[in-house]
Amino acid sequence: MSLKKLNNTIIKYILSKYLAFAIQLINSIFVAKNLGLYYFGVYGFSTLIIQYLSYSNLGVNLSYSVLCSDVNTKSIKQDITNSAMNIQLIISFSLLIIFAFTYSLNLFPKYNFNEYYFLIIVTTIIQHINNLYVNVFRIENKIKEINLFFLIIPISQLIVIILFKDRTLFYSLFYAVIIGNFISLLIFLKSRPIEIKKLKFFKFSMARKILGRGFFLLVYNLTFYGIILTARTIVSHYFSIESFGLFNFSNTISNAIFLLLGSLNFLFYPKLINSISKKTNQELVVFIEKIRMFYLTLTMFIVLLSIIIAPILFYFLPQYKDSIFSLQVLILAQLIINNSFGYSTLLIQRSKEFLMTIFATISIIIVILASIIGIKYSYRLETVAFAVVLGVIVYNLLIVYLGSKSIGIYRGLLHMIIETFNFKLFSPIILFIFLSVFFNTYYFNISITVILYLILNIKELREIKTTTKTFLSADGSILTLDKMK
């Protein structure tokens, strides 16, 4: 692929994600405003259930990406695709059966769940299928259709947000997501690569391979989302619907803020896996540190920008003002979890998903215990948010430990902590949260934070342009950070 064509593809992808990011952020704000605190709490619970059900795909789409990344044989790719598609159809049928047997149980009456249970099942099924198609198209470098997919659904939601409010908006959001996914599915079916135009029944050996790899990839993918999912579940159980609405608002905004970083990871992930597999341990030491610092510098920029504009957001949505501190803490958690970027990809490439699953489970248990203890002694949402931070710190250290051991650079616990939680990157945001607890002078606090960050990280900021150019390499490998001087 030529540099010009590669650059155009990536630029179009990033621009479409910027647009999707902007629309989703606008949607998040207006959904919160037009639903009101009570219905936004109910809406948050419905998205919580959808997130739980999203893991019923058993990691098929994740496994598909990893298995196809290093496959050049058309027949093998055909077998993987056939099996993945058929597994997804079986899962969809199973969800319908589960719905038929559980609808009469009147689950979660606090949130009137039965009223929208079927809509949740339909949403989950069509999202399962489309998410697999997204990975198929990504492997085939067909980015245009993926760009449309990421835009259609937020645009569909934006339309109903403009037209409806309160309870009517709540149900309209489901219909918008279902219709948007259906339109996207038609686009995928029309443009699908030749390898999946004539699907056959799956091979059992390939199905076992997909499900076996997919399970651990799924649990790994649960890392931050699983920790947040646990926290949201605890809040939905122990707190009122309105309080859950506040916590859900913090979570929604923090996720929207990091949408762009997620899109960059999505784009580069297959190439990153491939690049890591070709390097020696000595080369990986430099390579991982460079991509980690690049990723963290981008993360910190987004964190600081979001903190600066947060007061404007809460001026527009005064009923959610009590969630501002939880938002800041959850943003810190996002920063910490992104700190393991590079090492986590290395461990995936080396098939360490089982150990990563154990680490994620340990972190989730910590969140549960810390949350329950915190709620017992201080009935505040912030205690759950801090439990999330504690959980991701433990997970981060375990991932860096395993990654550094695998390439032979582990030098002891204290050294690892110092290297992992880089003082120059983390001290500004820690200072900001400390100042927020003791001083009610928001813009003075953020001014001190930004000044400290610029002083400590001027060198890294100057290298961003050079590093970005290196990502867009002429050989089509996208990631060649080891060639940097």
Task: Give the distance between the most distant pair of CA atoms in the chain.
Answer: 65
Task: Return the closest-CA partner of residue 395 out of 261, 224, 279.
Answer: 224
Of residues 275 and 481, more confidence is placed in 275
CA distance 387 to 379: 13
Share of the chain above pLDDT 70, in %: 79
What does pTM read for this prediction?
0.74
pLDDT value for 125: 93
Residues near 77 by beta carbon (within 8 Å), at least 6 away in sequence: 68, 71, 139, 195
pLDDT at residue 228 is higher than 70:
yes
Poorest-confidence range of 29-38, 73-82, 126-135, 228-237? 73-82
* pLDDT at site 222: 66
Contacts of 115 (CB under 8 A, 6+ apart): none
pLDDT score at 283: 67
Nearest-Å Rg of the Cα atoms of the chain is 22
The yes-or-no verdict on residue 77 having pLDDT over 90 is: no
Residues ≥6 apart with Cβ < 8 Å to 364: 226, 227, 230, 391
Closest alpha carbon to 20 in 132, 151, 121: 151
CB-based contacts of 336, cutoff 8 Å, min separation 6: 389, 392, 393, 396
Is pLDDT at 183 greater than 90 in this prediction?
yes
- Residue 477: is its pLDDT beyond 50? no
Per the prediction, the chain carries an average pLDDT of 77
pLDDT of residue 474: 37
Q: Cβ distance 159 to 26 under 8 Å?
A: no
pLDDT of residue 279: 65
74 and 195 Cβ atoms separated by less than 8 Å = yes
Segments making up each domain of the chain, as ranges: 1-202, 216-485
